[in-house]
Amino acid sequence: MRDLTEANVTDAVLNTIADDTNPRLKEIMEALIRHSHDFVREVNLTPDELLYAARFIQNVGHISDDKREEGVLLGDVLGLTALVEILGDRVRVGATESSLLGPFYREGAPTRDMGDDISLNDDEGEPAFIHGTVTDANGNPIEGVVLDLWQTSPNMFYEAQVGQPKDYDDYAYRAKFRTGADGKYWFRSRKPVDYPVPTDGPVGLILNGTGRHSWRPAHLHYLIYKDGYQTIQTELFNSDSKYLDSDAVFGVKETLIIPYEQVDDAARAEEYGFPTSTFYEGTYDFVMKDDASVKDAEAAYSQRASMSAA
């Protein structure tokens, strides 16, 4: 029988990992065991605290569904997602910088026609016209790129979110657009607004318990992909947000901040179907890097989410 002590318990667990374990799984599990044991030693974790942690993780699962991913949000507020993205950007030099996916991405957004209003004619918010070009690193436009994008409505909720005060159609403020030969994209929406991440779940306990606010600077999320190119997972932030320096989930990067210029042009407003002559215009050009190994990002997300690859 093993006589477990503080000195040998970590090795006892490490020794249970079979030699023929998948090398990457072995690397991750060994590090997880070593670091988590050191963590317990450092804070002298009590049995009650360990039980609390177990229930915390259970609650992360309980509150999650296909429209809300509390586990993603947990990684976000701990800065783990930001760190993973920063490490990933080291091999994506030259492409548009990445930012986090967030907990509210939904697969299956409908493909809309260029120029469509993704707000589905919302009667709230500030009309916005958003456009730009997708090019390769040499400035050549790329045809057939999918921009899978999503944002909150002006009332600060994603369309399917729990607590949503308005009855939006499924996939309002979500769309896929596919670029033509000129690499251009353009669509209508409402100017993104600052919003708080949900604090009614376990992640809220962390924020409230440590004196943190829950606000994110206004942004639009993008997954941009085409076979043969590295997928861009990013966000564009409004330059006039007061939360650029204190994003609750650490997503902001200087190169991803864009101004929304106010335009007063009755002819253009009418062309876009906006009810008043004034609207906001946001412009951003995305740069993609070649990579023959990159596949459809939505399929990749699906596979990741199901953990079927493990």
Strand, helix or coil for residue 289: coil
Residue with tokens 């309980």: 62
| Distance in Å, CB of 192 to Fe ion, minimum | 9
CA-to-CA distance for 158 and 164, rounded, in angstroms?
A: 8
Query: CB of residue 123 vs Fe ion: minimum separation in angstroms?
Result: 22
Report the nearest approach of Fe ion to the CB of residue 77 (Å). Answer: 13
Residue closer to Fe ion by CB (options 133, 152) is 152
Angle value at C-alpha 175, between 276 and 60, nearest 5 degrees? 115
In the complex, what is the shortest distance from the CB of residue 105 to Fe ion, in angstroms, rounded to a whole number?
9
Structure tokens at 58: 């259970």
User: Which structure tokens are listed for 286?
Assistant: 């995305």
**106 CB-contact burial (10 Å; exposed 0-12 / middle 13-18 / buried 19+):** middle
Question: Quick check: 278 and 304 in contact, CB under 8 A?
Answer: no
Is 4 or 80 the residue whose CB approaches Fe ion more closely? 80
Q: Which is nearer to Fe ion, 102 or 202 (CB)?
A: 102
Q: Least CB distance from residue 211 to Fe ion, whole Å?
A: 23
Instruction: Name which of 221, 223, 235 is nearest 288 in CA terms.
Output: 223
Tokens of 35: 């670091």
Indicate the SS3 state at residue 238.
strand
Give the 3-state secondary structure of residue 271. Answer: helix
Residue with smaller CB distance to Fe ion, 63 or 269: 63
Q: Which residue, 158 or 274, has its beta carbon nearer to Fe ion?
A: 158
Residue type for position 182: D
At closest approach, how far in Å is the CB of 133 from Fe ion? 24
Q: Report the residue number, 102 or 204, with the smaller CB distance to Fe ion.
A: 102
Using CB under 5 A as the criterion, which residues of the chain lie in contact with Fe ion when the complex forms?
Answer: 102
